[in-house]
Structure 1
């Protein structure tokens, strides 16, 4: 009887050959095991892409190849793989970190996971994110971070890429040079606002009133605010007297004033979503979708800041609308104030009414976004807030610059980090959002 090779043997060798090619394409070395391997197909040795030096930092690799078919609980974005108990027991005894590479030949899909990340039962279940855990060039930094020195277990291999610019999500605030204070017969803002509405259906909002003292960037005698202050007590003072207090309560009062000023200046251009505390692009008056043109880090570009998603079964119906948005926070650093801009999204049913599934859509969207997408959104918002011609409708600031009492925004230059941050390290699970699966970006 003739000798034969089983289909499983041929399939396994195909997978190992393809994985070897991928590892070499990353710039690393793959050293296959000999014929007596018992659950490890080879080792990856990290190679410095600049000096070409062999580092001696290694990872053990087990390749699991299938011809085709779906994995367990496979969806468009994820899948699960249940390792054999004897394999897991063997891998745990290795002095090197072990990864499993899944290869499916019919669609040439490659995914990987460290066995240290396996979950129950008994540390056998690997949960794969198809985008984040793709076994290709994008995995090089994560593999280097996982590798250890062969004679000093646990030494971390830093990212192989060189330095990169770090864009802080901060915008510096240029404050008015002066601020107005005045005594008021009203102790707090609620009673004062009721009085204002008796005189003006749309009264100014750029003011704070606490303990019978009103603070505002604009002269209260020139607006409806004159009805809630004692005009004889109005004083124009240097901005430093209220912008940089020693008392925390007074600092919170100034933050509230900044927030009111921002809201006033964005009125007519952005809408505010109270539950998220976010400003977002409204739908176009003549339709729904909106495209915004701006200057990116390298060139002019545009973004669909209001996107309409139609019902798959009925193109005449809107399924939901996604609006680009940002959450503002004010920070005092030394003798300067900054606005932090955290990009996010607001979801509506038709461009105006809240989408009851908005929280779930936001969580899923955040899971898929990478650092480059977050940078792009921040750059768009920075252009919107800082550039004189940024607003799609009424100008945030006219050609002559901000008027009296307005705050102005100035870009903050990027920093230069000595090392690049691997893309995978930007994404960590938010411990407060396990149920939703939402993630936050951290350094």
Structure 2
């Protein structure tokens, strides 16, 4: 009888270490009150899913987790307070398609240390090197709020709230709109394109705070008393209650009304705000070429000010402007529960001199946004309400000599809500190492 002695299957130390690391990280997530489910051996960049739990109840809010394990040794650039980790290019490409927040957990068996960091995907910055702070980035109960906050989108309607923490007053980034009582409706033989051409041919200054749909003209101003008389049948103008059109149940009618609100808002703010069609944001106009503009206003508690147009000089060429940063926001008009709102999503716009669009805005925006925290975003929403309503507290007269067009839309302050939970500043990201290149701020994650 012959016996065939097959070669025994060998498990490598790397495979064993991977299993040990996954088990250790799963145990750590359970210890802080989260669930952790491992993926199959076919995983290609995500080792498991961590689920946020509130008092032992699952929430269906998931975090994708990639685990990097080692037995011993020092991490790259490791000191007593920090270290870094270089991510694989293929992993980054894979994670960019994820609809979940992605974190990397590094585990070292020799000292049973667990650290974590979120993988950021922001325009203008390629983040391959994660930087870990040994004091702040430990995977333990102290990081519950930050982890939970990752699962709730920053953008979108209203505020966002992580499910754990202490409690605070939050504001909603929605400004309630006081609509005019009447809206003017008229028949017209023009579509929008031909109507604009007709106004230009009249020699008068064109205005765009109106909409045309299916041969019907809408506006909050009487077209018989403006240049828009050129584009309507003046004997067919009628004033009707705004509510008849503004709260129509048909979604197309609501979209048409939302467009009228945006056009009207842009018209009444034309002295102080410009529209960037590429990024679709409003931003503050400067008073002059490469000049800083300051806005004084009453914040939630105290009088304060903001450089709504800020000039940064080049550090390389004396007397040369590096870039100009403008406060801006992405607008969205929404109707909810028979109330129209202007959703304000604060951001920044960058120019070379206050007027010409900067050729590399994404890199500048990435650096600036990472310097923001929760309090700063809250403050910007309040600032925008004061700015839009032309509510300035002393200081320089922002609106002096430029009353602008009549105000059709008025705005109430953003609503405040008492929350049972806090919004950790960490959700906005830690401060990056910031490098200034020829006067241009570029955020670098080391």
TM-score, shorter chain, exceeding 0.5: yes
> Structure 2 CA distance, aligned partners of 1:308 and 1:89?
46
Q: Residue in 1 aligned with 2:186?
A: 182
> How many residue pairs end up in the alignment?
325
Q: Residue in 2 aligned with 1:362?
A: 365
The change in CA–CA distance for 1:262 and 1:142 in structure 2 (over 3 A counts) is farther
Shift of 1:201: 3.3
Shift of 1:255: 0.8
> Structure 2 CA distance, aligned partners of 1:99 and 1:159?
24
1:79-158, aligned counterparts within 5 Å? Answer: 79-80=84-85, 88=107, 90=109, 99-100=113-114, 113-114=115-116, 128-129=130-131, 133=133, 135=135, 142-145=142-145
What TM-score do you get using the length of structure 1 for normalisation?
A: 0.63
Q: Residue in 1 aligned with 2:250?
A: 247
> Structure 2 CA distance, aligned partners of 1:146 and 1:319?
35
Contact 2:172 2:416 (8 Å CA) reproduced: yes
Q: Residue in 2 aligned with 1:268?
A: 271
Q: Residue in 2 aligned with 1:14?
A: none
1:216 aligns with 2:219: yes
* Alpha-carbon displacement from aligned partner over 1:25-82 (angstroms, at most 9, x marks no partner): xxxxxxxxxxxxxx99xx9x99xxxxxxxx9xxxxxx9x999xx9817x9xx983389
Is the radius of gyration larger for structure 1 or structure 2? 1
Contact 1:159 1:422 (8 Å CA) reproduced: no
1:18-29, aligned counterparts within 5 Å? Answer: none
Q: Residue in 1 aligned with 2:38?
A: none
> Structure 1 CA distance, aligned partners of 2:144 and 2:370?
23
* Alpha-carbon displacement from aligned partner over 1:120-154 (angstroms, at most 9, x marks no partner): xxxxxx95446xx462599997434589xxxxxxx
The change in CA–CA distance for 1:99 and 1:368 in structure 2 (over 3 A counts) is farther
What TM-score do you get using the length of structure 2 for normalisation?
A: 0.63
Q: Tell me the secondary structure at the aligned position of residue 379 of structure 2.
A: helix
Q: Residue in 1 aligned with 2:231?
A: 228
Q: Tell me the secondary structure at the aligned position of residue 412 of structure 2.
A: strand
* Alpha-carbon displacement from aligned partner over 1:377-428 (angstroms, at most 9, x marks no partner): 1111111113544771258979xxx95x711111132101111133334559
> Structure 2 CA distance, aligned partners of 1:163 and 1:88?
32
The structure whose RCO (Cα within 8 Å, separation 6+) is larger is 2
Q: Residue in 1 aligned with 2:420?
A: 418
Candidates 307, 320, 323, aligned match of 1:320 = 323
Contact 2:370 2:428 (8 Å CA) reproduced: no
> Structure 2 CA distance, aligned partners of 1:273 and 1:222?
29
Unaligned runs of 5+ in 2: 1-23, 33-54, 56-69, 88-105, 120-127, 148-161, 431-441
Task: Give RMSD over aligned pairs.
Answer: 4.2
Contact 1:272 1:280 (8 Å CA) reproduced: yes
* Alpha-carbon displacement from aligned partner over 1:240-290 (angstroms, at most 9, x marks no partner): 111011211111111111011000111111222111111112223275111
Candidates 333, 336, 340, aligned match of 2:336 = 333
1:204 aligns with 2:207: yes
Q: Residue in 2 aligned with 1:25?
A: none
Unaligned runs of 5+ in 1: 1-38, 47-54, 56-61, 101-112, 118-125, 148-156, 429-436, 439-443
Candidates 366, 374, 379, aligned match of 1:376 = 379
